[in-house]
Structures are given as structure tokens and as C-alpha cells.
Amino acid sequence: MIRIFESAGRPFVAFVEEFGRILLLLISATAWLFRPPFRFRVVLKQMEFVGVKSITVVLITGAFTGMVLALQTYHGFRMFGGEGLVGSTLTLAITRELGPVFTALMVTGRAGSAMAAEIGTMKVTEQIDALYTMSVSPVQFLIMPRIVAGILMLPVLTVISDFIGIVGGYFVGVKLLNINSGIFMARIVEIVDLDDIFNGLIKSACFGLILALVGCYKGFYTTGGAEGVGKATTQSVVYASVAILISDYFLTSVMFR
Amino acid sequence: MSKLSVEAKVGFFVVIGILLLGYMSMKVGKFSFKRGSGQDISVFFDSASGLSKDVPVEIAGVEVGRVRKISLKNGKALVTLRINPDIKLRKDVKAAMRTRGILGDKYVELIPGSLAAPLIKAGEQIVQAAPVTDMNTLMNILGEVAMNVKKLTKSLANVFAGEKGEASLRSIMDNTNEMVEALNRTVQANNKDFSAIIANFTSFSERLKDIGDANSDDIRDIVANMRAASQRMESLVAGINDITAKINEGKGSIGKLVNDKETIDSLNRSLAALQNITDKINRGEGTIGKLINDEETVDNMNFALAGINDYIKKQDTFRTYFDYRGEYLFDSEETKSYVSLRIQPREDKYYLLQVIDDPRGRETVKDTTRTIDGVTTTEHKVKVDRDELKFSAQIAKRYYDLGLRGGIFESTGGVGIDYYFFKDRLTLSLEAFDFDPDRNAHLKFKADFKPVNHIYISSGFDDFISDEGRESFFIGAGISFADEDIKTFLSDIPIPMN
Amino acid sequence: MIKLVKVSKSFKGQKVLDNLDLIVEPEKINIIIGRSGSGKSVLLKHIIGLIRPDSGQIFVDGIDITKINEKTFNEMRKKFGMLFQEAALFDSMTVGENVAFPIKEHRHLSQKKVDEIVNEKLIQVGLTNVAHKMPSELSGGMKKRVGLARAIALDPEIILFDEPTTGLDPIMCSAINNLIVQTQEHTKATCIVISHDIESTFKIAHKVAMLYHGKIIEEGIPGEVKVSGNPVVRQFIEGRQIEQSPKQK
């Protein structure tokens, strides 16, 4: 009888334990943010890695998201002659949801996994121990810069993704489907609010925190050589993606009431 | 691309992001960035059904403001409108609720009044325009009209149609017939009398002829008199002619009276009356009329008034701010102080003069290395001139939520970019200065948050790409007062009276 | 001066160090030998504080490092340099940056000065013209040299070597051994080497200690240990199979 409870409870306990460890890591990274030495260059390097180098993938995802949205909503709105609403609908969808979420998922796949792999490799090849022996905190040197870069860069990427998505939607809607460009833009201006964009950006900052934190956590607690690194990388992507989608629901329910 | 430094790449990237955000917020938030300013006017509506906060207020289809508040007062809806500051409204402007589009979005339309009415002031109330017939009322009225028409036609039908109608019509005809016959009979019966009357008339005209012949001289006199009178009339006309010519030349006091509205009116009337007498006067009326009624004159006057208004407004937005801020640097565990004077001639522009007490002062770094028996010792000397004050002098321009600064930053050349959030309560700034080829530029990022007026807290990273280990996280706080605040403050201090 | 007193450590119920006592000779090359998996690396990581013991005390210059907090420990660690088994060079940095890393972290020097020190240290370990290379471009032996250059970059008082000759060919082995001796003579540092390479141990050690089943079972100058009466030590030295197989880590 006890065994049943035990086996049922173990995954739960493991989950709680893991969650606790992630939070502790976050707290420690936050504490290190305010303690000298301040590693702005390292942060900047990570900002380049997370932000600048993700630009291609974000541009492509953003553009096609906007384009396909225009195509899909056009067919729906045409049924009652509301083609003019395509622009505002896709802009709302992109700024509120798709821009932040897709950007975060793409960056998770590209940068989050790389974080887990890089830190994981450093862990199994004793590079993290080496940092300790040189009196350098790996949390400050490796994890804090990645989290800061995630929080700062995701909103920037999202802005770019939002913009390119709307441009893509405009291209399909106005150039290919012959929606009047004036009406297309006017509806966007009329219906979309500044808050829609800003709330999307706040969300994306949260996603940036999640993907960086999960990637770093998985890498930092890697064991078992090269195989362990591979496992950590996969897990970091899966966990971060799920966490992003779940947190998206709660953030949305708080913001867009 | 590969030759760019990491700093440049990230900086470029972030700037692109901010520009896109700025562009989108300008597009989307078309009017919302001005939400803070403008004048409030209010209007009572019988019903504000379907109206909500922030819906547009339009004149001729152009958005000029937003609905700010809807409340209930004396059983009517009191709607407060916030009108953009550049819109001038007259006192007799009227407001109406309108519906747009198939989805039935409501908005408020303002119907401008006459140009002659005085300008409206903030906080004043305007009236509701005659309720526009919406579909419902229109249908109701049409229904009533149809009812009336129906009644009318029904009674008409009653009158003309049916036996009764026919009977009465026939009786009218009969009556007429009878009357004509009676007249006929009367004429025939009195034939004799008529002949006598005609004979009388003939004899009367003969007698009249006789009188005429006898008094033909008298009649000639009368004609002569009439001729003399008409000659006098002619000289009178000439006199008037003379006067009008003089008016035309601007002589006499009449010229001075031209500006008086009553004079103009009576003159107008006089001229209109005289128009038929002479062509000259006719021309004169045209000239004066032109002066008074010409559209261009009115426009010129209005333009001049607008210019004066602008000037007064400019005086109004001129502000001077005094500001103190302190920053605690975690790295050196010391406080850096700034005292600034900000002169703001317009809302979107200011000049900043600043004196800075930097605890780190100006640093000179010197390394001496000695190698004795393979052991290397390094002496690290830092010379600091702590007493030296730094100063800044910058010019700043603001575009919507984005501000750009340039000039002297802490005694070196530099540029800065600011982004304003939440009605300017939060400001994010990035400054770059001290461009020295031997070391990295001084970059500073800060976030200022102003929870209440006059006081703000600040946090950021100073010199964060320093290659001399001077990067530091900092927190700080400051107070800021405008000249007006100081005036108020001073006037609130009780002055002892002897 | 480094002294370990009754240090015990278990991993998942398995005792790796068992009431271990050890005195390290200052300014000498101390070599700890033992079979693979006997806990030598664990012992070394205790000394530099990467692992904390379950019980016991570890004194470095009279301070019990098991009692001090992380911040004090970070100060303490500046006295140490450590060469890891696989060198543990930072993959993302060039060789030069790797060696410069501890210098930049702990000393505020100009870039020019840092470069000078890096060059000096690389020459000291017999390397030239590698500063711009990435660690992945180097052979195992070269990596270890760079690792050593990084370990001695801050002129530490104590240098730890984690199996410096493992995985190297015999020529490279003796080159590294020579390097250890040279470095020790040059810097007068206290060296602690863990190894299972008997031949080189007796060649370079000033003091040898043998770890077996979580305890030091023999210690002394190489001459003494060579003629030890302890059967386990004899078997290890002579390379014969020990009847009772050692516990796995």
C-alpha cells in the first residue's frame, strides 16, 4: 500500500524538487547580478548570441506567421465582407500572442538548447570546476549573463518579429489578395492599442527569462558525459517550450482581462 | 559584419528594435501619446448608450480628441471630452452621438459653430445637437406621416366618393346653375334702367369736355409747375452725387466711422437705396462692400489672431527645472551627485546644464613592473583628482516617446537616447560619451522611475563596457522642481508681518 | 602548509574517504598514488574546496577551510592553481584568453601588461605562437601545458595536478613530468600531484602517499615507499593483481 503511494508520489516530489532547484538558481543569479565584478562584456556577448544571431530565424518565422495569418483570416472574413478586418486581426494576434510565443519558441530551440549544451559540456569537462578554482562564480559568469540577455533580447526580437509579421501580412493581404491598403492600415490603427504591443513585450521578457533559466539549469546539473549533455539539451528545449506555453496562458489571463 | 565589435552589433540591434517599437507605437498609438494633454469640455446627452471611454471625438470625420469620462448627473449622461490642444473650439459648438459601420461603433461628433463666437475655455459645457434622426425615430415619424396621409385621403375619399358626396356635388352644381339663371333674369328685367344709366354717363362726359375747353390755360400752368419741380429734383441728385464722391475719396468723418458696425449697416442700407439713383453710387457701394465682406480680410484677421495665440502659448510652455540626483555606485561604494538646470522652451525640446561631483574624479592609471629573480611584481598606481568637478551641457529633442540628446556629457562629447513609458513616469536612457581611442567609450544605461511628482528613483549600469574595471551597478534618487513649483512653494511660506 | 585531519566523505552511501589523515610537505612535490577510482580526485577536490567533507578538518595555512564561507574561500583559492585531468580549458576562448582569464579576473592590469604575463607563462610551459589558437586545435599534451600555464598565471603558492600524465604517450609523459619539476623549482610552490603512474612518481616526487580504501596506507620519501613492507603497496608498485579488488567509486 505504502509502495503505491511512494511510486505515485515520487515523480511529484522529483518535480517539486527540480522546481525548487530552478528557483534557487534564479535567486542566486539575481543576487550575483548586484555583486561586483560586473561582467558587462560577458552579458553583451550573450546578448549578441541570443539576440543578434537569432535574427534570421525570427525574421523568417515572423514573416511567414504574418503571411499565413493574412491568408487564413482573409477567407474567413470574406464570407461576410469583412476583409478590412484582416489587418487588425492579424496585428492583434501577432502583437499579443504569436509574436512573443513564436519568437520565444524559436529562440528556445536555437539559443536555449545551445545554453544547455554549452554549460553541460563545461560541466562534464570540469570547466565549471576550473571556474571555481579560479574564484569565479559560474552562476555569475555563465548563468546570470544568459538570463539577463534572455530578458533583454527577447522583447527586442519580438518587436522585430511583430513588425516583420505585420509587413508580411500586409504583403499578402494588400498585394496578393487585393485588400485596400488604406482600410488595412486604418483598421490596424483603429483597433490595435499600444498596450497590446507592450503587454506582448512584457510577456516576451518573461519567456526570455524562462528559456534562459531552464537552459542554464539543465546544463548546470548535467551528469554523465556526452550522453548526459545530449539529454540535457533535449530536455531543456522540451521543458522550456512547455513552460513558455503554460506561463503564456497565465500571463495572458492576467494582462488581457 | 564580422568586423563589427560585439558592442556595435548589440547596440545596432537594440536601436533597430527601439526604432521599430517607436514607429509602431507612433502608428498605433496615434493619439494616445497625447493622452495627458488637452482641454476638457463636457456635454449632457439624453442617452450615452453604446458610448465608452476613449472612443474618438471627431469634427468632419477627423479625430480631435477622446471621450474621457462618462457619468450620470440629474438623470442625464454627462460626457467629458478631452480635446487635443491644437484644436480651437467656439462656444456654440454642438456635440452629437453618431454611429459608424456595420458593427455600430459609437463616436462623438462635434458640429463647429460660427467663427464669430468666442473661443471655448477648458472645463466649459457645450450643448447637445438636435438629436439626429436615427433609424428608429425616422421610422416612427414616417409612420406618423403615413397615418396622417391615410386619414386625409380617407376623409377626402369620404367627401368625394360615395352617394353622399355625389349628391352634394350635384347640389353645388345645381345651385350654381340657379344663380346664373337668376342673374340672367335680373339683367333682362332691368334692361330699361341700364339704358338710362348709360345715357347719363354720356352727358357727363360731354359736360367734362366743355369744362376742359374753358380752362385749358390753367391746365398748362399745372404742367409747367410740374416741370420746375422735376428740375429741382435733378439738382438734388447732383448734390448727392457730390457727397458720394467725397465719401469715396475718404474725406470727412464718415471715413472714420467705417469701422463702426452700425454705421456700416446703415451705410449699406443707404447705399442700397441710392443704388437705383446713380451708377456712381452703385460703384461706391461695391468698393466698401468688398472691404467688409471679403473672405480674405477675415482670413487675414484670423491668421493674425492665431499668431498671437501661438505666442501666448509659447510663453505658457516655457519651463525651467532644477534637479538634484545622487547615484550610489556599488563598485566604488561612493555617491555621485548631479545638480542640473533644465531650460525647456517647448514641450519637445530642452537644454540641460549640469554640474557633476564624481567621487572617482579623474583617474590616471600607472603600472610599474619589476622582475627580480624571475619573480614578477606589479605595482598598480591610480592617481585620482577628486576635487575636479565635471560639467554637462546638452540639447535634447523629443519625438513622441523617443528623446535624443547630444552635447557635453561629464566634460566629454557624447550622445544619449531616452525612451519614455507610462506617461513619462518611467524613462529608459542610454548614454555614450568619452570616446577615447585608447579605451572603450563610457556607456551608461539607466532607468528613472517617478512614483510621485518631484521625486524619482533611478537604477542602472554605469560605464558597462569599461576595459578598466570601472563598470558599476548603481541605484539613486533625485528631486526635481519646476520654476512654477518653486514660485508656489515660496508663496506658501508665511511671511512674518510687522 | 596543508593538513587533512580525519576527513570522511561518502557518495550515495559509499565511503570514498574514510577518516583520512594527510600532511602535505610545503614547497615540495607531493604525489598521491592509488588505483583508478580509489578516490584520489575526490581527495584533491577536497583540498581546493570543490567538495566539502562529511566530517573532519582540512587546514590550509592554519585555517580550517571546511568552516569558512564561500566568500572567504574565494580569497583562499587565489593561493591555488589547478591543472585538471583534461585540462578543462574554456572552449569558447582562445589559448591566450584562457591563460589571461584568471589574471583579468583578479588583477586590474592594462591589456598590454596582461599579454606580457600570458606570453611569459606560455613560454614557461614551452609553448610559443599558440595564443591565438582555440583549445580544440591543440593536442592533449599541449592542452595540458596550456592548462598548467593558466594554473600558474597568478603565481600560486599551491599547485594541484589531477593525473597530469594520463592519456599521454611516454615522451609527452616525461615532458610533462619535467615541466612539473621545473615549475616547482621555478615557483617554489607546494605541488600536490595525484597519479597512478608509478615510474614517473618515483622520478619526480619529494614525498609519496598511497591512498587505498579511503585511507593513506603508506607515506614517506620515495625511497621509503619503494621498499615498503605493506603488501598492498608492494603489489601496486610491482603492478601485480591485488587479491581483494578495490571498491569502485
Regarding whether B333 and B410 lie in a shared domain, the answer is: yes
Count how many domains chain C has: 1
pLDDT mean over A1-20: 77
pLDDT exceeds 90 at position B2: no
pLDDT mean over B430-439: 81
- The residues on C that touch A, with CB distances below 8 Å, are 45, 48-50, 74-75, 77-78, 80-82, 84-86, 88-92, 101-102, 105-106, 160
The cell 530565424 sits on which residue? A57
Given a contact as 3+ CB pairs under 8 Å, which chains touch A? Answer: B, C
* Residue B203 within a domain: no
Mutate to test the interface with B, among A38, A89, A199, A202 (most CBs of B within 10 A): A38
The cell 525647456 sits on which residue? B344
Regarding whether B470 and B367 lie in a shared domain, the answer is: yes
Single out the residue in B101, B130, B159 at which a domain terminates.
Answer: B130
* Residue C59 within a domain: no
* Residue C243 within a domain: no
Regarding whether B264 and B126 lie in a shared domain, the answer is: no
* Residue C9 within a domain: no
pLDDT mean over B184-213: 68
Q: Would you call B469 and A193 a contact, using CB atoms and an 8 Å cutoff?
A: no
Q: Would you call A126 and C101 a contact, using CB atoms and an 8 Å cutoff?
A: no
* Residue B413 within a domain: yes
* ipTM of the predicted assembly exceeds 0.90: no
pLDDT-above-70 percentage for chain C: 96
Q: Would you call A41 and B28 a contact, using CB atoms and an 8 Å cutoff?
A: no
- The pLDDT assigned to A117 comes to 94
Assign B67 to helix, strand or coil.
strand
Regarding whether B339 and B475 lie in a shared domain, the answer is: yes
Mean residue pLDDT across chain B? 72
B101 and chain C in contact, CB less than 8 A: no
| CA-based nearest distance C38→chain B, Å | 38
The answer to whether the CB of C108 falls within 8 A of the CB of B380 is yes
* Residue C65 within a domain: no
* Residue B400 within a domain: yes
- pLDDT tens for each residue of C69-121: 877 888 888 888 899 888 889 988 899 999 999 988 888 888 888 888 899 88
Q: Would you call C113 and B367 a contact, using CB atoms and an 8 Å cutoff?
A: yes
Q: Give the pLDDT band of residue B116 (cuts 50, 70, 90).
A: confident
* Residue C19 within a domain: no
In chain C, % helix, strand, coil (3-state, to 5) comes to 40, 25, 35
Higher pLDDT: B259 or B236? It is: B236
Mutate to test the interface with B, among A30, A45, A46, A48 (most CBs of B within 10 A): A48
Higher pLDDT: B299 or B491? It is: B299
pLDDT mean over C125-138: 87
Selection from A29-38, B260-269, B356-365, C127-136 with the highest mean pLDDT? C127-136
At B448, phi and psi to the nearest 5?
-105, 130
* Residue C130 within a domain: yes
- The pLDDT assigned to A115 comes to 93
* Residue B374 within a domain: yes
pLDDT exceeds 80 at position B466: no
Q: Give the pLDDT band of residue B126 (cuts 50, 70, 90).
A: confident
Regarding whether B332 and B287 lie in a shared domain, the answer is: no
- pLDDT tens for each residue of A192-236: 888 888 889 999 999 999 999 999 999 999 988 889 999 999 999
* Residue B323 within a domain: yes
Q: Would you call B376 and C155 a contact, using CB atoms and an 8 Å cutoff?
A: yes
Dist. CA C124–CA C146, nearest whole Å: 10
Give me the helices (H) in C81-230, please: 95-106, 111-124, 140-151, 170-187, 198-204, 222-226
For strands B349-357 and B334-346, give the pairing.
antiparallel
* Residue B148 within a domain: no
* Residue C195 within a domain: yes
A7 and chain C in contact, CB less than 8 A: no
Higher pLDDT: C229 or B498? It is: C229
- The pLDDT assigned to B289 comes to 44
For strands B105-111 and B94-100, give the pairing.
antiparallel
| CA-based nearest distance C42→chain A, Å | 12
Q: Would you call C85 and A126 a contact, using CB atoms and an 8 Å cutoff?
A: yes
- The pLDDT assigned to A120 comes to 94
* Residue B151 within a domain: no
Assign A35 to helix, strand or coil.
coil
Mean residue pLDDT across chain A? 89
* Residue B307 within a domain: no
Chain B residue with minimum CA distance to A36: B331
Assign A252 to helix, strand or coil.
helix
pLDDT exceeds 80 at position B216: no
Regarding whether B432 and B476 lie in a shared domain, the answer is: yes
Q: Is B454 left (phi over 0), alpha (psi -120 to 50) or beta?
A: left
| CA-based nearest distance B371→chain C, Å | 11
- The pLDDT assigned to B277 comes to 46
Dist. CA B398–CA B317, nearest whole Å: 15
- pLDDT tens for each residue of B176-195: 777 777 777 766 766 666 66
- pLDDT tens for each residue of B164-175: 666 766 777 777
Regarding whether B108 and B49 lie in a shared domain, the answer is: yes
Q: Would you call B28 and A189 a contact, using CB atoms and an 8 Å cutoff?
A: yes
pLDDT exceeds 50 at position A97: yes
Dist. CA C22–CA C53, nearest whole Å: 14
Q: Would you call A132 and C75 a contact, using CB atoms and an 8 Å cutoff?
A: no
Chain B residue with minimum CA distance to A201: B21
What residues pair up with B95 in beta bridges, in sequence order? B110, B128
The answer to whether the CB of B17 falls within 8 A of the CB of A155 is yes
Q: Which of A41-50, B290-299, B321-330, C30-39 has the lowest mean pLDDT?
A: B290-299
- pLDDT tens for each residue of B3-57: 678 888 888 888 888 888 888 877 776 544 445 567 888 888 888 877 777 778 8
| CA-based nearest distance A227→chain B, Å | 33
Instruction: With beta carbons under 8 A apart, name residues in chain B contacting C107.
Output: 378, 380
C116 and chain B in contact, CB less than 8 A: yes
What residues pair up with B421 in beta bridges, in sequence order? B426
Nearest to C86 among A118, A125, A137 (CB): A125
Regarding whether B288 and B383 lie in a shared domain, the answer is: no
A41 and chain C in contact, CB less than 8 A: no
User: How many other C-beta atoms can be found within 10 angstroms of the C-beta atom of residue A110?
Assistant: 18
* Residue C189 within a domain: yes
Higher pLDDT: B282 or C171? It is: C171
Could you tell me the CATH number of the domain that includes residue C164? 3.40.50.300
- The pLDDT assigned to B270 comes to 58
Greatest C-alpha distance within chain C: 59
Dist. CA C42–CA B57, nearest whole Å: 76
Give me the helices (H) in chain C, please: 40-47, 70-77, 95-106, 111-124, 140-151, 170-187, 198-204, 222-226, 231-238
- pLDDT tens for each residue of C43-64: 888 888 888 888 888 888 888 8
pLDDT exceeds 90 at position A100: yes
Count how many domains chain B has: 3
Q: Which domain holds residue B276?
A: 235-293
- The pLDDT assigned to A1 comes to 62
Q: Would you call B469 and C120 a contact, using CB atoms and an 8 Å cutoff?
A: no
Q: Would you call C110 and B469 a contact, using CB atoms and an 8 Å cutoff?
A: no
Chain A residue with minimum CA distance to B469: A37
The answer to whether the CB of B4 falls within 8 A of the CB of B46 is no
The answer to whether the CB of A71 falls within 8 A of the CB of A90 is no
Grid cell of C190 as nine digits: 607546494
Grid cell of B307 as nine digits: 499668431
Dist. CA B465–CA B471, nearest whole Å: 7
Given a contact as 3+ CB pairs under 8 Å, which chains touch B? Answer: A, C
For strands C2-11 and B76-83, give the pairing.
unpaired
Q: Would you state the torsion angle of the CA atoms of residues A188, A194, A196, A200, taken in this order, to the nearest 10 degrees? A: 120
Regarding whether B117 and B255 lie in a shared domain, the answer is: no
- The pLDDT assigned to B259 comes to 47
Instruction: With beta carbons under 8 A apart, name residues in chain A contacting C77.
Output: 132-135
* Of C160, C180, C178, the residue nearest C47 (C-alpha): C160
Regarding whether B460 and B331 lie in a shared domain, the answer is: yes
- The pLDDT assigned to A215 comes to 94
pLDDT exceeds 70 at position B300: no
pLDDT exceeds 50 at position B290: no
Dist. CA B427–CA B459, nearest whole Å: 11
Q: Which domain holds residue C139?
A: 27-52+79-238
pLDDT-above-90 percentage for chain A: 54
Regarding whether B354 and B246 lie in a shared domain, the answer is: no
Regarding whether B485 and B439 lie in a shared domain, the answer is: yes
